Structure 1
Amino acid sequence: MTADFGKRAEIGHDQTKWPVTLIRNGRSRSSEMTGHVAPKYALPGFPYPSFEVDNQKNPTLVFTHGANITFYVINTSQVAPHSFAITSAAPPYAIVPADHRVSHPQVNTGDLPILPQSGRYSYAKVTWTAPNPGSYYYLCMFPVHASFGMWGKIQVR
């Protein structure tokens, strides 16, 4: 994981293509993307923060078992720090997640702070290898955020 505070978030491009399916409100859209997923944060209806991927809020991400995924996580919020973690623990989530699978996630960026400079965002790069087929969840570990809906589902096939 790389966390870089104070620089503009610039995402590099990998020429490796892999299929990903985004599912939102029961509708799926398959596309081919580069080997990176860039979840960023949005505040679509304060006080309920969410993740945004490819202009969709908290979409279900579908990956193939064994795929190596790089997530570039950008905290665009000027209101609160955020984090990005992947766990096997399903919702609902407590105000302060205490489930061992949540408190010891498979990946975790730690809190990405708010930056005082306009147009600058904290961000992190995390890699994850899609494990055995099943359901996993990405969520914000900052207190209250996951319980208010800042989470999404990952399906590994």
Structure 2
Amino acid sequence: MEGNELIDKLPLSKTWLEDIVDVLMNRSNGEGEIEAIILALSKTDRDIGAEAASTVTRTINNYCRNSGDTEKKAKHEIFERVGPGRYKLLNYPSRPDFIGIQKIQFDDSGYQQAWDFFYKLTASKDKRWKNVPKRKKLEVFAKNLLTNENLRNLLKAYGAEPPAIV
């Protein structure tokens, strides 16, 4: 199994950013108004809460190259403001690599515990680990989940089901 296939099987948490990008990926030219994005998100499993407009706007502005916030420059430019309350994906129809730009989080607490343990152990053994891209770190983690009995037992101890060994 290849690295991306292994990563795809991990129960990674889906973020607001990913949900917003998913909405815009399904719109003409990757563009949409905040209200349209919120409406589309309300039809998904995402709990949008009472402050959906501010959450969506803040999330977009954190990754917007021209949000109007002159004090803050986006480290990863994903969106462009094209009008009041209207944004578009810069690289539409390509999707950004979310793993490379966000904190790695898991929906399953067992996987999160195993990741935290693995990450700290690996970083303490190899000082070069901090310079390894996040995608590669996840790939190494996923491969270890298939072969490392201690890591598999840690997952089980936290009530998570280890991935099937193929």
Decide which structure has greater strand share. 1
Please give the range of the TM-score, normalised by the shorter of the 2 chains.
under 0.3
Which structure has the bigger radius of gyration?
A: 2
TM-score normalised according to structure 2 size: 0.22
Structure possessing the higher relative contact order (Cα contacts under 8 Å, 6 or more residues apart):
1
